[in-house]
Amino acid sequence: MMKNLAILLVTIALFSCKEEIKPTYVVFEGNVENNSAETAMIFGNDFEIKIPISDTGTFSDTLDIDIDGFYTLRIGRESTSIYLIKNSNFAVKLDAKEFDETLLYSGDVASENNYLAAKYLLSEKEMSFSDVFKMSESDFLKEISVYKDNYIKLLNESLYLSETFIELESKELEYAHIMNLENYPGYYIYLTSDKSFKVSESFYGSIKDINFKDTIAFRNSHGYQKMLLTHYGRLSDENSGLEKYNKTVSFLKNVDFNLPNGYAKDNLMSKFLTYNLKADESLEEAYNLYINANPNSENLPKITENYNLLKNLTLGNKSPTFDYENHKGGTTSLNDLKGKYVYVDVWATWCGPCKREIPYLKEVEMEYHDKNIAFVSISIDVKKDHDTWIKMVDDKDLAGVQLFADNDWKSKFVTDYGIKGIPRFILIDDEGNIVNSDAPRPSNSDLRDVLESLDF
């Protein structure tokens, strides 16, 4: 009897001491008016899911997230930052035609997500990017201080926010402020074409005590990740102005020197190389720096695949070809232009940076209209936006050879060149060989130097 009682007591003790396992899932529902997208996508913190949207605009799913924090919700081309915590229920309603203005959240983290929606609307009321970043240094510092104060005021005045969220968001606002500082010199030069511009010695004084090696913060904050990308990008820009330095190589060396092997280093390097590994003289050195930094098994194949593609796009290699619909009728291929140099602009009607290049491209076209060079613009708009492309070409009186790709981002010319972002400019010689697979933009004065070096 005593033996059985002892067994019973041990059993009770085992069960009573067992830690309660709390659910980690998030029940998420949505309702989208005027919807045309097939899925709602949620991603961030090494999590990604696509949720089908019904014909009536509704969607729902259970999200098994590992980390409480900031994620991104994307529906069609629109996206917004959202805050998710484990073991919660919340919902969103919106109108796809007025995406940001109509976001309305309900449920366990409604206050936090409605704050994030209000934060974005506040950002749209601020002065435009081009106006701010071409200000003088003193005016710029005053302006972004006002921005920071306005965001802090919104955070402080928002009701029912959790202490955890307030702490996280306060750090995010600080990281965003630092990114503005880090971005200023590069954007100022880009917007003003003043390559001699340098900030004062005291400009970075306010960030001298920032820890740019915090691998824990890197895991827990998307804002910190973006800040580090910006920071090391700025350092590489500064170094690339010196003889024997290349921006991509400089970035990798800075990261390799400052961060220990592991998640943060691999994440920074692989994200940067996804868009900045170039088919130029730095290709081999950049790739070797990456593979010698102990990359993880998930990212290494992706970067290696890109490297192998880029090896075929270096100076002198045969260019991938195109044969696409011409705005003036029929089709035009690269072979049709043989005997001429070809400057290709890959763009889309929805792409803001692409449209900002149009006036500069027109100037270059006029300047070289009597030279042996063809200016070709290839739209990668989706088929449903074909009429939008026709209208924009007409309305803006776009010159040169205006083409419409056959399968938007999946068009063979686009994939053969490994294009992941637009606008993208490519220079091909009169024999169809590559001169530069990532040529300077029309707004960059370097383009004229390149064109002047050609044997027309």
Helix (H) or strand (E) holding 87: none
Predicted local confidence at residue 241, as pLDDT: 55
In the predicted structure, residue 446 carries a pLDDT above the cut 50:
yes
> What is the Cα–Cα distance from 2 to 201, expressed in whole angstroms?
81
Q: What b/e readout covers 217-235, taking b as 16+ CB neighbours within 10 angstroms?
A: bbbbbbbbbbbbbbbbbbb
25: its two tokens:
């899932």
| Contact between residue 39 and residue 52 where contact means Cβ atoms under 8 Å apart | yes
| Contact between residue 109 and residue 85 where contact means Cβ atoms under 8 Å apart | yes
| Contact between residue 72 and residue 42 where contact means Cβ atoms under 8 Å apart | yes
CATH number for domain 25-110, candidates 3.30.365.10, 3.40.50.1820, 2.60.40.1120, 2.40.240.20: 2.60.40.1120
Q: How many Cβ atoms are within 10 Å of 236's Cβ, its own excluded? A: 22
- Tell me the mean pLDDT in the region 350-369: 95
- The per-residue pLDDT for range 175-207, each reduced to its tens digit, is 999 999 999 999 998 889 888 999 999 999 989
- Tell me the mean pLDDT in the region 9-22: 46
- The per-residue pLDDT for range 59-104, each reduced to its tens digit, is 999 999 998 999 999 999 899 999 999 999 999 999 999 999 999 9
Predicted local confidence at residue 245, as pLDDT: 55
Which of 5-9, 210-214, 278-282 is predicted with the least confidence, judged by mean pLDDT? Answer: 5-9
CATH number for domain 323-452, candidates 3.30.1540.10, 3.40.30.10, 3.40.1350.10, 3.40.50.300: 3.40.30.10
In the predicted structure, residue 161 carries a pLDDT above the cut 50:
yes
| Contact between residue 315 and residue 281 where contact means Cβ atoms under 8 Å apart | no
Helix (H) or strand (E) holding 39: strand 39-44
Kindly indicate the confidence band of residue 11, based on its pLDDT and cuts at 50, 70 and 90.
very low
In the predicted structure, residue 400 carries a pLDDT above the cut 60:
yes
Q: What are phi and psi of 332, to 5 degrees?
A: -135, 135
Predicted local confidence at residue 193, as pLDDT: 83
Task: Give 352's strand partners.
Answer: none
8-state DSSP, 318:
B
Predicted local confidence at residue 17, as pLDDT: 46
Predicted local confidence at residue 15, as pLDDT: 45
Peptide bond into 423 cis (omega under 30): yes
Nearest to 233 by CA among 297, 185, 189, 279: 185
Helix (H) or strand (E) holding 34: none
DSSP per residue, 351-368: -HHHHHHHHHHHHHHHHT
Percent of the chain with pLDDT over 70: 94
- The per-residue pLDDT for range 257-274, each reduced to its tens digit, is 999 999 999 999 999 999
Q: Give the full edge-to-edge strand order of the sheet including 47-52.
A: 47-52, 39-44, 69-75, 78-84
Apex CA 231: angle with CA 227 and CA 233, to 5°?
115
| Contact between residue 26 and residue 89 where contact means Cβ atoms under 8 Å apart | yes
Which of 18-32, 145-159, 242-256 is predicted with the least confidence, judged by mean pLDDT? Answer: 18-32
In the predicted structure, residue 127 carries a pLDDT above the cut 80:
no
> Hey, where are the domains in the chain?
25-110, 129-313, 323-452
In the predicted structure, residue 12 carries a pLDDT above the cut 90:
no
